Amino acid sequence: MIENIDDDNFSRTTVAADQLRAIVERIERLEDEKKEVAAQIKEVYAEAKANGFDTKTLRKVVSLRKKRPEERSEEEAMLDLYLSALGMLPG
Amino acid sequence: MIENIDDDNFSRTTVAADQLRAIVERIERLEDEKKEVAAQIKEVYAEAKANGFDTKTLRKVVSLRKKRPEERSEEEAMLDLYLSALGMLPG
Amino acid sequence: MIENIDDDNFSRTTVAADQLRAIVERIERLEDEKKEVAAQIKEVYAEAKANGFDTKTLRKVVSLRKKRPEERSEEEAMLDLYLSALGMLPG
Amino acid sequence: MIENIDDDNFSRTTVAADQLRAIVERIERLEDEKKEVAAQIKEVYAEAKANGFDTKTLRKVVSLRKKRPEERSEEEAMLDLYLSALGMLPG
């Protein structure tokens, strides 16, 4: 919290040091946690790659799993429509 | 350019002000240009949307056009393989 | 533009191929331009570095120039207040 | 793991479905965790803001705390040098 103190002698802004320190330390702990989880994700991909999986395809799969099946098939139909209009579909 | 001047009386680092200003101004002009082009791209998408096109699909098309046909079909085959292994393909 | 055609014999969605192609090509041209400008910016920084300038500081300068002087000094005063509360200011 | 099976009758690529599923589920769990931590960080900032703290300054403080004091003061000296060369420092 910030306070503006104005009296005859001085005008200053103070900040609650303890509260500020607590906030900053909480953020730092959480950022460390986030970095740790991000490193674990990277590790799973690296391990998968070492086991012969294609990580680019894995990422697409993970992203597609977030969508409902109808959503996915609608998006794919639309994409095929556009690609076909541009002569980009085989056959 | 930065110079370190050390003599009996003082030690300081100076920077060639004119050269610095020229660099900064060139960067600013180029950043303005880049922002302008980015705004034009956004506009094309907005216009396309107003004409009934689906911008998400458009973005995918633009991205797919950067790949060779074989590259695209290999990637799609690999994706289908993974999706099918996970029971995510219809049929 | 997309059309839904429904008659006795078929139901399909078509997309105006020429219009689609024109849109995609406009986007591609603009994306090329943007990439070109981005490359020029990178070049200016590389040249500046070769001339002894510190690019990290240059980036900060470019970013600070976007703010009004009062805005900058208010932000700096606030930062000093917080840093001082945390014992991070020298003196 | 991916296997290429080639015999007289067919050529196909298979993927170890169980292993693939396990990998994808691990990634999904970790991504959920990461999202959760990111949400908590956002919450701390929101709470800090509600308590009168300036979040932009907080972010700068968190970022500056990652640097050693000498690193910070060198960077600031360099920045002041550049700003002064451009007439951007008061006084």
Q: Which of D31, D34, D53 sits opposite A23 (nearest CB)?
A: D53
Q: How far is Cα B34 from Cα B29, in angstroms, rounded to an integer?
A: 9
Average pLDDT for A72-76: 95
> Which of D78, B65, D62 lies closest to A28, judged by CA?
D62
Residue of D26, D32, D64 to mutate when probing chain A, most A C-beta within 10 A: D26
- Per CB-CB distance under 8 Å, the chain A contacts of C13 are 81
Q: Which of D13, D17, D86 sits opposite B86 (nearest CB)?
A: D17
Q: How far is Cα A68 from Cα A72, in angstroms, rounded to an integer?
A: 6
- Per CB-CB distance under 8 Å, the chain A contacts of D48 are 23
Average pLDDT for C61-75: 96
Give me the long-range contacts of D35-38 (CB less than 8 A, separation at least 24): D37/A30, D37/A33, D37/A34, D37/A37, D38/A34
Average pLDDT for A39-48: 98
Q: Which of B57, B79, B90 sits opposite A73 (nearest CB)?
A: B90
Mean pLDDT by 10 residues, chain B (91 residues): 50 76 98 98 98 97 96 95 92 63
**Does A5 have pLDDT greater than 90?**
no
| Chain A contact for B24 (CB, 8 A cutoff) | no
- Shortest distance between the Cα of D52 and any Cα of chain B, in A, equals 34
pLDDT, residue B11, reads: 42
Give the up-direction half-sphere exposure of residue A7: CA atoms within 13 A in the CB hemisphere.
3
Among B9-18, B36-45, C52-61, D71-80, the least confident range: B9-18
For residues C27 and B44, the answer to whether their CB atoms sit within 8 Å is yes
Residue with tokens 């680019």: A56
pLDDT, residue C11, reads: 41
pLDDT, residue A8, reads: 46
Chain B nearest-CA residue for C60: B24
**Does D9 have pLDDT greater than 90?**
no
| Chain D contact for B50 (CB, 8 A cutoff) | no
| Beta-strand pair B11-15/B2-6 | antiparallel
Q: How far is Cα C82 from Cα C80, in angstroms, rounded to an integer?
A: 5
Chain C, chain D: beta-carbon pairs less than 8 Å apart: 42
pLDDT, residue B10, reads: 43
Average pLDDT for C10-19: 71
Q: Which of A15, A31, A48 sits opposite D23 (nearest CB)?
A: A48
Q: How far is Cα C47 from Cα C40, in angstroms, rounded to an integer?
A: 10
Q: How far is Cα B1 from Cα B16, in angstroms, rounded to an integer?
A: 5
pLDDT, residue A90, reads: 77
**Does C13 have pLDDT greater than 70?**
no
In one-letter notation, the amino acid at residue D56 is: K
pLDDT, residue C12, reads: 47
What number is the ipTM of this complex?
A: 0.83
Question: Please, which pLDDT band fits residue C84 given cuts at 50, 70 and 90?
Answer: very high
Q: How far is Cα C30 from Cα C67, in angstroms, rounded to an integer?
A: 29
Give the up-direction half-sphere exposure of residue B14: CA atoms within 13 A in the CB hemisphere.
9
- Per CB-CB distance under 8 Å, the chain D contacts of B13 are 81
Q: In chain B, where are the structural domains located?
A: 7-86
Residue of A82, A83, A88 to mutate when probing chain C, most C C-beta within 10 A: A82
Average pLDDT for D10-25: 81
Average pLDDT for D61-74: 96
The number of beta carbons lying within 10 Å of the beta carbon of residue B20 is 22
Max Cα–Cα distance, chain B, nearest Å: 86
**Does D1 have pLDDT greater than 70?**
no
Residue with tokens 């296997």: D3
Average pLDDT for D23-37: 98
Q: What is the pTM of this model?
A: 0.83
Chain B, chain C: beta-carbon pairs less than 8 Å apart: 74
| Chain A contact for B27 (CB, 8 A cutoff) | no
